[in-house]
Amino acid sequence: MHSILFVVFAPLAAAIIAGFGNRMLGNTGAKLVTTGALFLSAALSWPIFIGFLTGSASAEVVPVLQWVRSGDMTFDWALRVDTLTAVMLVVINTVSALVHLYSWGYMDEDPSQPRFFAYLSLFTFAMLMLVTADNLVQMFFGWEGVGLASYLLIGFWYHKPSAGAAAIKAFVVNRVGDLGFMLGIFGTYLVFSTTSIPEILEAAASMSGATIGFLGARWPTMDILCILLFIGAMGKSAQLGLHTWLPDAMEGPTPVSALIHAATMVTAGVFMVCRLSPMFEAAPIALAMVTVVGAATCFFAATIGTTQWDIKRVIAYSTCSQLGYMFFAAGVGAYGAAMFHLFTHAFFKALLFLGAGSVIHAMHHEQDMRYYGGLRKRIPITFWAMMAGTLAITGLGVYHLGAGFAGFWSKDAIIEVAFARGTGAASFAFWMGVIAALLTSFYSWRLMFLTFWGTPRWIESEHIQHCVHKTPEEAGADTTGGYHPHESPWVMLIPLIVLTVGAVAAGQIFAPAFLDSADFWGGSIFYNENLIHAMHEVPYWVKYSAFVVMLLGLSGAVYAYLLKPDVPAKFVSAVAPLHNFVFRKWYFDELYDAIFVKPAFWFGHQFWKLGDIATIDRFGPNGVAWAVQRGAVAAKSIQSGYLYTYALIMLLGLIAATTYALL
């Protein structure tokens, strides 16, 4: 038996056992089963990955079960293992195992822990099915499966109306993307007569000059197919236009945000584009769209990140922004760089989220950074872990020293490769990437300074007030309110420490393989040797641009949040309209509510009341009934019971019949 079978199905088995054995197993049993399964999967994933890293493994497909045979359309359950899958396996299983462990502490007081752990393991299974898919339909299975798990986990605290709403929003917005994905699969089947990914990729180049009809117009075949599939990716990876669900998804417990909404599920779109990279390379228009959408998202989300107060929302917008980097890297043809950033981002973003969770845990569930401050000394391990995550995301590193944190290696490569590609879309992406790097540095340090530096502002928080039973007035000068933040338990700190290692070192160690080695990828993605070479040859000002803007962002944050804490408020009031626009998330939610949600309900109501009741029923069955009734009334008046009326009618009938016969 191939170890991949255990890697994929152990989490499923654990989810079923924990979910259905809910009451028999108890909390500890459910937690042991799920966490144990995930550590097993993680332990089995690393050897697979190292096999590809050292070149000793080769791509293979492990069949599982027949799925659908319908005419010429066939697709089966099967597990594909190649380099691209192996990268995802270690990312998913490592982060998932750590998040399972972390949740022992974070969810300790929750009444329905078996359910939580069952959902987490179920999610992991679905994500693994997605990345091991050998055909588009199984990928879609995983795609929807992670969507279900995400829905369940966002809505985990289902008694909160906001959680229920966020869960639906996540599912429905993702379904908009899935509409594109499904049509993309149909179109791909129509063109290639198969849904097998290797077969499609092999034939893709031969269709690069083809045209096809879609919605009554002619289109370049590969472009329309790739655009449809990319719409799916936009939904899952929260790209501009279909991003609105991701910030709301923060309603879920923080470990969920770390696993699903940072490290794994939201990167599925990037994975999909990389998996299908030979197909996208036959579709220049679609690639330009990927580049522009990615670049726009990375800038747009970063602007919002600078204004939010909720610590998790800042990180959520940061995720959205970082996904934009991955997409435009793929769009300009550097799929290895996109996957590399996916890989490093998984570590440092999971670290930031779990660190934020540790802060929230310490601060009695308060998530508003306005009520933090001065936590550096109180929760030192969390502080240093967050510090490592921040240095990683802002990309600290010096080119000439050849040393840096994880984000330095992956993000700088993306910025450089966009410059090296040099097309209009790529140049746009380059500048957006640089500006977003500045904003990233600013909002990341803002988060750090507001949380860990300055004076404590804890007593302003309602959560803290509830805890210490004091109002700010009663607390007086002691702005801590006498509250004592406590460092998290070791089950939470160990995952932080492990991820810290990843955030510090993952870039340094793996850059040569991910960026520069066609052998490492082994044909699992489209590897553009010339482009990567050109990336290394970009001028120094490009190589140092990310570093310089990182310092600028840092200085801005130091100035505004450490040296002159009254500056931000003044600045905000000076540019109030602009600030409002950004703070209200560019009014996307309001816009969608006005053009989609409200009209849907309005039309539904109109169709029901005016369509069904006032038109169809009125002229249909009720109309017929009415006509029959009127006819009966008329008929009744004829049936008077008097002989002479019958005689008259008989006479009239006789005349009519005779007339008819004579004519």
Which residues ranging from 620 to 649 are in contact with other proteins (CB under 8 A)? Answer: 620-621, 624-625
**Is residue 161 within the footprint of other proteins (CB under 8 A)?**
yes
**Is residue 62 within the footprint of other proteins (CB under 8 A)?**
no
Judged by DSSP in three states, 64 sits in strand
Structure tokens at 3: 């170890």
The count of other CB atoms within 10 Å of the CB of residue 391 is 22
Picking from 393, 376, 405, 499, the residue whose alpha carbon sits closest to that of residue 436 is 393
**Is residue 530 within the footprint of other proteins (CB under 8 A)?**
yes
**Is residue 539 within the footprint of other proteins (CB under 8 A)?**
yes
Binding mask 63-102 for other proteins (x = CB under 8 A): --xxxxxxxxx---x-------------------------
- Between the alpha carbon of residue 371 and those of residues 21, 248, 281, the distances in Å are 41, 21, 49
Q: Minimal distance in Å, beta carbon 601 to other proteins? A: 6
159 vs 377 by CB, closer to other proteins: 159
DSSP 487: P
**Is residue 468 within the footprint of other proteins (CB under 8 A)?**
no
Binding mask 326-365 for other proteins (x = CB under 8 A): ------xx--------------------------------
Q: Which of 43, 179, 552, 562 binds other proteins (CB under 8 A)?
A: 179
Q: Minimal distance in Å, beta carbon 662 to other proteins? A: 30
Binding mask 401-430 for other proteins (x = CB under 8 A): -------------------xxx--------
| 562 close to 449: Cβ distance less than 8 angstroms | yes
| 267 close to 341: Cβ distance less than 8 angstroms | no
164 vs 565 by CB, closer to other proteins: 164
User: Which residues, in sequence order, are CB contacts of 415 under 8 Å at separation 6+?
Assistant: 430, 433, 434, 437, 542, 545, 546
Q: Minimal distance in Å, beta carbon 287 to other proteins? A: 5
Q: Minimal distance in Å, beta carbon 339 to other proteins? A: 15
Q: Which of 83, 221, 322, 410 binds other proteins (CB under 8 A)?
A: 221
- Considering only residues 256 to 285 of the shown chain, the ones binding other proteins according to CB under 8 A are 278, 280-284
Vertex 48: Cα angle to 202 and 273 (nearest 5): 40
289 vs 392 by CB, closer to other proteins: 289
From the list 166-174, 317-325, 378-386, 573-581, the region that binds other proteins by CB under 8 A is 166-174
**Is residue 540 within the footprint of other proteins (CB under 8 A)?**
yes
Picking from 120, 145, 121, the residue whose alpha carbon sits closest to that of residue 133 is 145
Q: Which of 490, 571, 587, 603 binds other proteins (CB under 8 A)?
A: 603
What's the rounded Cα separation, in Å, for the pair 479 and 203? 67
Vertex 627: Cα angle to 624 and 632 (nearest 5): 125
HEC letters along 538-571: CCHHHHHHHHHHHHHHHHHHHHHHHHCCCHHHHH
Structure tokens at 642: 């008097």
474 vs 612 by CB, closer to other proteins: 612
- Considering only residues 140 to 159 of the shown chain, the ones binding other proteins according to CB under 8 A are 140-141, 144-145, 148, 151, 155, 158-159
**Is residue 572 within the footprint of other proteins (CB under 8 A)?**
no
Q: Which of 559, 587, 601, 626 binds other proteins (CB under 8 A)?
A: 601
- Considering only residues 20 to 59 of the shown chain, the ones binding other proteins according to CB under 8 A are 22
Q: Sign of the C-alpha dihedral, residues 333, 339, 341, 345?
A: positive
372 vs 419 by CB, closer to other proteins: 419
From the list 1-9, 401-409, 452-460, 617-625, the region that binds other proteins by CB under 8 A is 617-625
**Is residue 187 within the footprint of other proteins (CB under 8 A)?**
yes
Picking from 30, 26, 3, the residue whose alpha carbon sits closest to that of residue 15 is 30
User: Which residues, in sequence order, are CB contacts of 353 under 8 Å at separation 6+?
Assistant: 254, 255, 257, 258, 262, 312, 315
From the list 406-414, 442-450, 527-535, 574-582, the region that binds other proteins by CB under 8 A is 527-535
**Is residue 433 within the footprint of other proteins (CB under 8 A)?**
no
Structure tokens at 390: 């921040």
Vertex 554: Cα angle to 553 and 557 (nearest 5): 85
DSSP 401: G
Contacts with other proteins by CB under 8 A: the residue count is 92
Binding mask 481-510 for other proteins (x = CB under 8 A): ------------------------------
Q: Could you please report the per-residue DSSP string of 433-473?
A: HHHHHHHHHHHHHHHHHHHHSS---GGGSHHHHHHHT--HH
Which H/E stretch holds residue 211? strand 211-214
Q: Minimal distance in Å, beta carbon 68 to other proteins? A: 6
**Is residue 216 within the footprint of other proteins (CB under 8 A)?**
yes
